Structures are given as C-alpha cells and as structure tokens.
Amino acid sequence: MSAKSLCLLRGDRCLFRDLDFALQDGEMLVIEGPNGSGKTSLLRGIAGLLEFECGAMRWNGRALHDDYPSFRADLAWLSHRVGFKGDLTIVENLAFESGLRATDDSRMGNALARLGLARLTDLPFRSLSAGQQRRVALARMLLSRAKLWMMDEPFTNLDKAGQSLVADLIAEHLAAGGAAVVASHQYLDIDGKTRRVLLQ
Amino acid sequence: MSPTSVSMPGLWHGFSAVIRRDILLAWKRPGDVLNPLFFFAMVSTIFPLAVGPSTEQLQFSGPGVVWVAALLATLLSLNSLFLSDFEDGSLDQLVLSPQPLPLLVLGKALAHWLISGLPLVIMSPLIAITFQMPADTINIMMVTLAFGTISLSMLGSIGAALTVGLHRGTALLGLLILPLSMPILIFGARTVSLSAAEDGVAAGIYFLAAYCMLALSLAPFATAAALRISNE
C-alpha cells in the first residue's frame, strides 16, 4: 500500500497536506497525534469512506478507486463505534459478519476464549461492559481473514491485560504477513516493523 | 501476500444475512414494528367515526383513506431504516464489506418491507371492512397495496440514506419522498375506487407493478450512492 501527497480539508481547516507513506506486508503504520489532529479522518480516508482533496492511494500496486471491492475484501475495520447490534448476542453478531466478508468461523471458540468472552456468548451485546464490547470487536478482526487491519484507538476502554492482548494480536497478525494501520494518541511499541505518521 | 486463498461469501449469502439480521432485530424489538401498524389501524378506523356511518360516503372515501394512511405509516417507519446502523457503526461495516453495497441495501429495504409493509397489507382487509368495501375490491386493494408498499420501501430507502447523517431528518425525508410517491398514491387509490365501481382495474395494477419493478431495480443503486455520501 502506498499513498502520495494526500491532503484533506475539514471545513476551512487543512488537516494535513502532502502526506506520503508506504506500507509493505508485515509492517504497521502508526498514525499519531493529539486529539482533533485528524487521525480518524486520515484513517477513514485511507479506507475510502472519505474523499481526499488531493493525492492518491494505491493498494497492491493499483489505484484504490480502480479496484475498491478487492481492497475491501482485504480490509478489517475497527473504530470507536464498533458496529454491533445491542439486541443480538455475541454469536449472532459475529455470525452476521460471515455473510459480509470471508471469515473463519471454525476459530470462533478459540477466539472468544482468548478474548475472555467464552462464557458471555448468549448475552445480548448491550449488556456487556464497554471493554467487553471492544473485545467482541477484536474477535471480529481475529475471525476475519483480512490482510489489512485498520484500527482507530484500539486500546480504548481496555484494561491492562486487554491492551497487551491487542499488542500481541497485532504482532501476530504482522508476523503472519498481514499489515496494520493503527491510529492512536498513545505511543505504540509492537514487535515488527513500524512506520510512523505524526499529525500536528 | 498471505498464502491462504480467501473464499468470499456468495452474493446470496450476504443478501440473506442482511435480511435475516434485520428481521431478527425486529423480532427482538417488536415495538418498532408495531408503531406504524398501530398508526395505520388508528387513522383508518377513526375516519369512519368522523365521517359518519352512511355506506355510500364510506365506500366513496375508503380507498383514499386507506392509501393515505398506508403511505404515512410507511414514511413513519422509514426514518429509522439506516439510523441505528449509522449510530452504532454497522453502516461503516456494511460500506466497507466486499459485498456490493447496492445488494446489501436492497436486502435492508426488502427486510423493511417484510417488517412494515407486509403486515400492513395483511391487516388491510380488516380496515376495509370498516369502510364496507365489497370482497372483490378488498382483493384488488391488497394487490395494489403490496406493489405500492414495496415501491415505497425502495423509494424511501433513498430518502433515508440521504437524511441519515442529519438529526431529525424526518420532515426532510417526507419532503424528498412524497413527490416520488404521488404516482403510487394516485394510481393505488384510484384503482381501488375503480374496482369498487366495477370498472377496469388492469391498467392501474400494471402501472403499479411497473413502478415497483423500476423502484426495485434502480433504487438500490441510488441508495448506495447516497449512503456513501451521508456516511462521510
């Protein structure tokens, strides 16, 4: 993945301009910056949810817009709004994912156990704590076979064990040849090659 | 590149997953489904009380009242079509899924029809009886309502997609959708009136069916485009 001279305006404020980066398999891109510096906007722009004012993204050597469906097939997305239904149970929510994208449901039991959710599977998502809800969102990343993980503030609401679990999961994903783009306001130190973008 | 070949779920799988999820959600929160239905029943049953019991008058105004109530009940329920998905982030997941967005949106609109339109069609004979409609007319009314509510769900999905990012977009949604839905209302109510007068109804039903097919085939693409804009 690579990006060339990206810029983005929000209202009449320029969030960033002439931003370049490149990302190989097994590498992680960390987007750092204080609150309101445009981390989420940059992330949404990379995912194609926002249009950049100028610049171009390439994925697997092709312009993103030429082959957007295959980019989405490689993408797993985690943001502060986790995208699960409060009235459905964890399993019902995760089962819906398998209709949307390629998932490996045979690993469901393992993934839930690892995230400490194994005993909560029949509870409605609404009744889980904020940290547990984030863990369900991590389960979606684990089950997906996406090559590119995009995560917006993955450590929010998680306890110490949960935070180190996220770091482990990302490290494993990178070791398996995947790539990750992570926006975070805290310093991220994870095994594997890391590139950094600092937004002011 | 990862060595495992990734097998995508089929188009039908994604389409049916959306429908199944939305129906399951409606099942768990029946209030959202019943509200528009109660509205439809109330408006149509109160009307005869206000107009008076003369059979002639009731038969004359019945088709129009049922159709207006059906249109407004559908509008009422359309507002929430994409709202909860937008608020909890499911919309991002839908938009970023490798499945074609128009297909997923078609699934959502059809689920909306199954949840709100179909019960309305099924309930309409009860209302028709309060207007003393003859049996043949009731059949015709159900056919026109079936085509009409499918079209309204499809058209409404465009409006709901355009207004999803706005708070309290209900009024705007009505403004956007009402002009497009006028042909449905006019042909729907008129066809039922013609049937009550024992006149030909084929032309009206053909028109409604054609409008329904047009909405089914074009609206998902417009809705998908509108969603991408609203979700920025």
Share of chain A above pLDDT 90, in %: 19
Rounded Cα–Cα distance for residues B110 and A147 (Å): 32
- Do residue B6 and residue A145 have CB atoms under 8 angstroms apart? yes
Top pLDDT among A18 and B163 is at B163
Q: Note whether B9 contacts A99, CB cutoff 8 Å.
A: yes
ipTM of the prediction: 0.89
CB-based contact, B25 to chain A, within 8 Å? yes
Q: List pLDDT tens digits, range A45-86.
A: 888 888 888 888 888 888 888 888 888 888 999 988 888 999
* % of chain B residues with pLDDT over 90: 58
Report chain B residues whose CB lies below 8 A from the CB of A90.
none
Q: Residue A141: is its pLDDT beyond 50?
A: yes
Helix, coil or strand: residue A144: strand
Residue A161, min C-alpha distance to chain B (Å): 25
Give the relative orientation of helices B202-230 and B170-196 as an angle to the nearest 10 degrees. Answer: 170
In a domain, B3, yes or no: no
CA A107 and chain centroid, separation = 20
Look at A69 and B89 and tell me if their CB atoms are within 8 Å.
no
CA dihedral A108, A111, A117, A121 (to 10 degrees): 0
CA-based nearest residue to A10, from A44, A56, A33, A34: A44
Judged by CB atoms within 8 Å, which residues 27-66 of B form the interface with A? 28-29
Interface touch A85/B94, C-beta < 8 Å = no
Q: What is the pLDDT of residue B107?
A: 96
Q: What is the mean pLDDT of residues B201-212?
A: 94
Residue A103 binned pLDDT confidence (cut-offs 50, 70, 90): confident
pLDDT higher than threshold 70 for residue A102: yes
Q: Looking at B7-134, list the stretches that DSSP marks H as alpha helix, in order from N- to C-terminal side.
A: 11-28, 30-51, 55-78, 83-88, 90-95, 101-112, 118-130
Within a domain: residue B185?
yes
Interface test with A, best of B4, B15, B92 (most A CBs within 10 A): B92
Query: Tell me, what's the pLDDT at B6?
Result: 53
pLDDT of amino acid B166: 83
The domain total for chain B is: 1
* Tokens of residue A160, six digits: 């110490």
The answer to the question of residue B2 being in a domain is: no
Q: Tell me the pLDDT tens digit for each residue of B165-182.
A: 887 777 888 888 999 999
Dist. CA A91–CA A128, nearest whole Å: 13
Residue B1 scores a pLDDT above 80: no
| Mean pLDDT on A104-115 | 86
Coil, strand, or helix at residue A50?
coil
Structure tokens at A64: 């993103």
* Res B97 pLDDT > 50: yes
Whether B80 and B156 have beta carbons less than 8 Å apart is answered as: no
Q: What is the mean pLDDT of residues A110-126?
A: 89
A61 CB within 8 Å of a chain B CB: no
Please state at what angle helix B135-163 crosses helix B101-112, rounded to 10 degrees. 140
* The pLDDT value given to residue B2: 41
Q: Which of A100-109, B47-56, B69-78 has the highest mean pLDDT?
A: B69-78
Antiparallel, parallel or unpaired: β A148-152 and A179-184:
parallel
Report pLDDT for B5.
Answer: 46
Residue A124: predicted pLDDT: 92
pLDDT of residue B115: 93
Contact B2, A147 (CB under 8 A): yes
Q: What is the pLDDT of residue B3?
A: 38
Work out the average pLDDT over B81-110. Answer: 93
Question: What pLDDT band is residue A133 in, cutting at 50, 70 and 90?
Answer: very high
Looking at every residue in chain A, the average pLDDT score rounds to 86
pLDDT higher than 90, residue B222: yes
- Residue B227's pLDDT is 93
Residue A13: C-alpha distances to residues A9, A42, B127 (Å): 6, 14, 57
Instruction: Look at residue B4 and tell me if it is in a domain.
Output: no
Q: Do A86 and B88 touch (CB under 8 A)?
A: yes
- Cα B33 to Cα B28, B39, B115, B230, distances in angstroms: 10, 11, 6, 25
Q: Which of A6, A68, A106 is nearest to B100 (CA)?
A: A68
Mean pLDDT of chain B: 89
Q: Where is pLDDT greater, at B68 or A61?
A: B68
Q: What is the mean pLDDT of the segment spanning B82-108?
A: 92
Q: Is there a contact between B232 and A49 if contact means CB atoms under 8 Å apart? A: yes
A87 touches chain B (CB under 8 A): yes
Evaluate whether residue B30 is within a structural domain: yes
Mean pLDDT of A141-148: 89
Task: Name B147's Cβ contacts closer than 8 Å, sequence gap at least 6.
Answer: B188, B205, B208, B209, B211, B212
Confidence of residue B188 (pLDDT cuts 50, 70, 90): very high
Structural domain range at position B28 = 12-230
In a mutagenesis test of the B interface, which of A25, A65, A78, A100 is the best target, namely the one with the most B β-carbons within 10 Å?
A100
Chain A residues lying within 8 Å of B28, measured CB to CB: 87-88
Closest CA to B77 of B32, B110, B135: B32
Q: Is the pLDDT of residue B120 over 90?
A: yes
Query: Is B7 within a domain?
Result: no
Domains and CATH numbers, chain A: 1-74+147-200 (3.40.50.300), 83-145 (no CATH)
**Which of A2-16, A39-53, B6-20 is predicted with the least confidence, judged by mean pLDDT?**
A2-16
pLDDT at B196: 87
